Amino acid sequence: MKALTAMAAGLGAGYWFTASQWSQALGPFPFRAPTDEPVIALTFDDGPNEPYTGRLADVLAHHEVHATFFEPGACAERFPDTTRRLVAEGHTVGNHSFHHDIRLLVRRTDLADEIDRTQDVLTPLVGGVPALYRPPWLFRHPGLFTELDARGLTAVGGEFCHPLEVFQPDPQVLVDGILRRARPGLIIVCHDGYNATGAPRDATIEAVDRVIPLLKERGFGFVTVDTLLGVPALQ
Ligand SMILES: [Zn+2]
């Protein structure tokens, strides 16, 4: 029993060291910017997913906030006008693999294909070659960083807004999750889609609508991830 406990603890520590959302062991993976400025980067993964991404863009426009969207190529291909709209309205769009399928993120040849296909889809939509990549589930291995380096891509991490977001709980749960994590330089990960297939995202949109004024009351401003990290959004 003791041995099992020790093994579990070892595995836990190993995971924490290499693969947790905060780990830098495998390569540079910013989850926040080293700043004392009260700025936060809102990021949204797994879209475009209509009608939700359009509604989210309406909310962001209403609050005059720019955000960052990490899009699977399959989703951008499905809703190209939404991707164009996001860029036209001042948001940043980055690469989030093509199929959002864990089986295609392990072998280097599959991973390279996932990244390249999405670059090909996004480039004409965003008006340049994207420079930012966020791995699905923030899943990294050493080969990922080699592939990203070869393509001039910067890996972007972040902190999940709430572990239950995928189940779309009461919006207040997500609001509280974001408020709990709020601090200067934070990159917060929310989802306007679900994998590369799409699903309702009402709770996330409502939470964003509620939390932006609360964060503004606390003195926070909002910037895109490239601005926060001081890196280009396009190559
Ligand atoms: Zn994702």
CA of 53 to the centre of ligand 1 (A): 14
pLDDT at 3: 62
Quick one: CATH architecture of 29-229? Alpha-Beta Barrel (3.20)
pLDDT at 112: 98
pLDDT at 17: 57
pLDDT at 38: 97
Which tens digit of pLDDT belongs to each residue from 39-48? 999 999 999 9
Q: How is the chain split into domains, by residue range?
A: 29-229
CA of 185 to the centre of ligand 1 (A): 21
| Structure-token match 């917060």, residue found | 188
CA of 96 to the centre of ligand 1 (A): 7
Q: How many angstroms from the chain centroid is the CA of residue 207?
A: 17
Q: Is-catalytic flag, 191?
A: yes
- Which pair of structure tokens corresponds to residue 139? 């899943």
pLDDT at 19: 64
- Measured CA to CA, the distance from residue 209 to residue 233 in angstroms comes to 25
pLDDT at 8: 62
Residues of the chain below pLDDT 70: 1-19
Check 46, 162, 191, 209 and give the catalytic one. Answer: 191
Beta-strand relationship, 221-222 and 154-155: unpaired
**Bridge partner list, 43:** 68, 189
In Å, how far are 4, 37, 69, 84, 188 from 45, measured between CA atoms?
37, 25, 6, 16, 11
Q: Is-catalytic flag, 36?
A: no
Residue 153 DSSP class: P
Alpha carbon distance, N-terminus to C-terminus of the chain: 53
- Which pair of structure tokens corresponds to residue 69? 């969207």
Q: Are 153 and 131 in contact (CB under 8 A)?
A: yes
pLDDT at 1: 52
- The dihedrals phi and psi of 42, each to the nearest 5 degrees, come to -80, 130
